[in-house]
Amino acid sequence: MIPKVKELKLISMYLYISDIYNIDLRFSCQRFSNNAKPEFTDEEAMTIYLYCMSIEQRFKVKQIYEFANDHLRSWFPLLPSYVAFNQRINRLSEAFRLLTHNLTANNMPLDCLPNESLVDSMPIITCSAKREGKVAREITDKGFCSTKGIYYYGMKLHTLAFHRPNRLPFPEQFQLTTASEHDLSLFKQAWGEIKYRTFYGDKIYLDSQYFKSLYEQNNSIMLTPVRGYRGQTDESKQRDKAANDLFSKAVSTVRQSIESLFNWLIEKTDIQRASKVRSAKGLMVHVFGRLAAAYIVCIFNS
């Protein structure tokens, strides 16, 4: 048994997921077999996963299953074995991705600034660089995280988020790449066509020629902290130091909130550690399942 307040959240979450599943998600996990309509439904599996992670703070699939088996049997009497539950969750990787998109696209706060965006990335670590990564090698590789100062195997979660003054930014889009993918390369491919937008990024996004062209074509600009250039004289550095420091501080103050967003996601979902993942689909569930858990709880706590 669970407390009455949590029961209401469980019911609300199930009804919300069922509505979205019938409209959109079911097309991403259709079955063309005799088991096309299993007794234990996809909606139930997703509800258990998201409820246990977001409300009960159980981050491992084994912990989620044990909690459901001990406390949610009256709600889900057809809960299968752990192995079957784990396999079912992994088959819903695309459904979790679509659910994450739905949650962020349809629940944007009113205080978002639609013409100002923050961009950054965070590592999703499958193992340290001391060992050779052997999990989901088709979508992971070795990369370097400058913030933590570590080499690792895994992926990068790139985030484009609307600026919200004095609050956490709200994500507009998430993109996954291998760990070695350069942040600027992803920006050019995924977000280089966005018009009339002011982007705030760190120094990794410095490319004066590209962003000059972006401004001329799309009227969009990228603001980053000032970085010195090769061959710059000491006289030039000192002459511009005060203005550059003020500008860099102003940009860093705005983009600091996206670091806080990543810290919030790590605290709420433990998204950064993916060492227990054993397949590509499992890694997709790890990322998008946790993102969905983080933002679905915001809806029911609001």
In terms of pLDDT, which residue wins out, 36 or 293?
293
Contact of 113 with 51, CB cutoff 8 Å: no
Contacts of 25 (CB under 8 A, 6+ apart): 17, 42, 95, 98, 99
Work out the pLDDT band at 122, boundaries 50, 70, 90: very high
Q: What is the mean pLDDT of residues 189-195?
A: 95
Work out the pLDDT band at 228, boundaries 50, 70, 90: low
CA quadruple 214, 215, 218, 223: dihedral sign: positive
| pLDDT of 243 above 90 | no
Contacts of 138 (CB under 8 A, 6+ apart): 280
Cα 105 from Cα 99, distance rounded (Å): 10
Which contacts of 70-75 are long-range, i.e. CB under 8 A and separated by 24 or more positions?
71/1, 71/2, 72/2, 72/10, 72/48, 74/1, 75/10
Cα 172 from Cα 116, distance rounded (Å): 11
Q: pLDDT by residue (tens digit) across 138-161?
A: 999 999 998 888 899 999 999 999
What's the pTM?
A: 0.92
Mean pLDDT taken over the chain: 91
Q: pLDDT by residue (tens digit) across 257-290?
A: 999 999 999 999 999 999 989 899 999 999 999 9
- What percent of the chain stands above pLDDT 90? 75
Tokens encoding 156: 């990068």
Give the torsion through C-alpha atoms of 239, 241, 244, 246, to 10 deg.
-120
Segment among 123-127, 161-165, 236-240, 285-289 with least mean pLDDT: 236-240
- What percent of the chain stands above pLDDT 70? 94
Give the CA angle between residues 291, 295, 301 to the nearest 5°. Answer: 150
Q: For position 2, what pLDDT does the model report? A: 86
In terms of pLDDT, which residue wins out, 20 or 29?
20
Q: Per-residue b/e over 156-178, b at no fewer than 16 CB within 10 Å?
A: bbbbbbbbbeeebbbbbbbbbbb
Segment among 42-56, 65-79, 286-300 with least mean pLDDT: 286-300
Cα 162 from Cα 175, distance rounded (Å): 15
Q: For position 258, what pLDDT does the model report? A: 95
Q: For position 231, what pLDDT does the model report? A: 59
Contacts of 87 (CB under 8 A, 6+ apart): none
Q: For position 230, what pLDDT does the model report? A: 60
Work out the pLDDT band at 128, boundaries 50, 70, 90: confident
Closest CA to 30 of 100, 98, 106: 98
| pLDDT of 229 above 80 | no
Q: For position 232, what pLDDT does the model report? A: 61
